[in-house]
Structure 1
């Protein structure tokens, strides 16, 4: 029987490879359509030697090649443990699931440690297997392993060490394995908790900016919300859009913009807002002068904040101070003399 199965495997190997590639592409498209970002998606078809070893281990179980459900293997590595459940639902919605051969290896008893992963054996659903491009793969199955980065790290290190599961571990090292397993599991859960709390913060930050801006630090979430909602910044964007015929696109370079507020001793959203209110008239004149001759069809929607930092440096009319700003953390294009010239021109503008 082994020889018959291996012979059939050789005859179908090309089809297995094509089905593996098509399934990877299909899953990739489904993830993208559902806006699910993962760490990695990969797949493989078992080689002849691996298949032969598998048959030898369970010689009484396999009577045909169709009994072997992991000839094709696809691995989805998520960033967070909670995303495994999200992808599981997607797979169940889009494929047939062989429940008998699927297994959830994430749930371990209190005295267990080791490999944790969700294994789903899938095949094409009734809608998809009638399509011309999939019809020849109607009876094919593949095993999808879904796990987080940290679960994957454990699996890779465990494999490298050559010990799989509690039974194989020498007694004097079991405590060490337990501790490491607990650390990775805790880290997975903590990353999930942090993501949820950050999401809650991002959803609430607009209200916090309105109610207590003095307590809202300058960070990516708060600055993006402030940039989109602040009336002065909206007015400034409209002013330049009308003047320059600019089309605004998504924010870029916030990692460079955020740290530079420290140069101006600004720590909170209120600090930025108060300065905008105090300097609005002169800032708009500076924008008018500073952007003269600029030619862009598209520009980042947070560009006004970037120009406001230029303005804060320029109003000092101090070459050393402006130079310090231009070289604070990273180098910005421009010369101190140019900034001083532009602010003086703005001040003289009627």
Structure 2
């Protein structure tokens, strides 16, 4: 995922703009809407003297090539309509947190936004995948208020700690490298590291909670 940058001026169309056509603007809008909502909440917490729950965010619009492959894999016609209504991750945001509790705070905050509708959620932190993958996934339906109507756009969010993000990045490289000679050994080592990182994340949260309790006694 590359850092998302909004740029309304383009001399030539990218493959994504050519594929999504005018709907590309809707995907950008959904990302901007969610990121703006997160930024306001972050700043509000800081004014209260509380810690920022977000380390950083990354966002992307799914590449035309990846979207076409996914549509074919699901035996759907390769159309913009199917890309936006049958596939939910054309617009995606990754939110990186420092501590475990920050993840669940962000999830609750997003679910409390009255105009965001949660379409799907999967807690891969409490219920990790067999390979060790951990993250919290949300699919939101985000309303964009246009001149004459409201356009609803799906946006996928992956919320995870720094350790989880490092692991996922490494696992992603493993998945798409075709010349690896010892995949089983690397897969087993990744699973071991995932479990150790999960334990470390839990320890960090426990230490933070202890610090907060002691600070309240002073």
TM-score (norm 2): 0.74
Structure with more relative contact order (C-alpha pairs < 8 Å, separation 6 or more): 2
SS at match of 1:151: helix
Aligned residue number for residue 29 of structure 1:
40
- Cα distance between partner residues in 1 of 2:156 and 2:174: 25
Verify the 8 A CA contact 2:97 2:161 in the aligned structure 1.
Answer: yes
Structure 2 spans left out of the alignment, 5+ residues: 1-16, 47-51
Q: CA deviation at 1:138?
A: 3.2
Q: Superposition pairs for residues 90-239 of structure 1, below 5 Å?
A: 90-94=109-113, 95-99=116-120, 102-108=121-127, 112-124=130-142, 132=145, 138-162=151-175, 170-204=183-217, 206=218
Whether 1:58 aligns to 2:69 is no
The structure where strand makes up a greater share of residues is 2
Cα distance, 1:189 vs structure 2: 0.5
C-alpha distance after superposition, 1:126-181 (max 9, x if no partner) = xxx6xx569755311101111111111110111123379xxxx8444454333212
What does residue 88 of structure 1 align with?
107
Superposition CA RMSD, Å: 2.9
CA distance in 2 between partners of 1:147 and 1:190 (Å)? 16
Corresponding residue pairs, total? 188
SS at the partner of 1:123?
Answer: strand
Q: Is the 8 A contact 1:24 1:42 kept in 2?
A: no
User: In the alignment, which residue of structure 2 is the partner of 1:45?
Assistant: 61
Change (3 A) 1:202 1:173: same
- 3-state SS in 1 of match to 2:139: strand
Residues 30-77 of structure 1, C-alpha deviations (whole Å, 9 max, x = no match): 232244431111211112112111112112498723111111001111
Q: Describe the shift of the 1:115–1:17 C-alpha distance in structure 2 as closer, same or farther (beyond 3 A).
A: same
TM-score (norm 1): 0.48
How big is the shift at 1:114?
2.4
Mapped to 2, the partners of 1:122 and 1:178 lie a distance apart of 29
Asked if residue 16 in structure 1 is aligned to residue 27 in structure 2, the reply is: yes
**Would you say the 8 A contact 1:123–1:138 is kept in 2?**
no
User: CA separation in 2, counterparts of 1:20 and 1:176?
Assistant: 35
Larger Rg: 1
Per the TM alignment, residue 200 of structure 1 is displaced from its structure 2 partner at its CA by 1.1
Residues 266-345 of structure 1 mapped to structure 2, 5 A cutoff: none
Contact map agreement 1:19 1:137 (CA 8 A) in 2: no
CA 1:41 to 1:119, structure 2 compared with 1: closer, same or farther past 3 Å?
A: same
Cα distance in 2 for residues equivalent to 1:187 and 1:150: 9
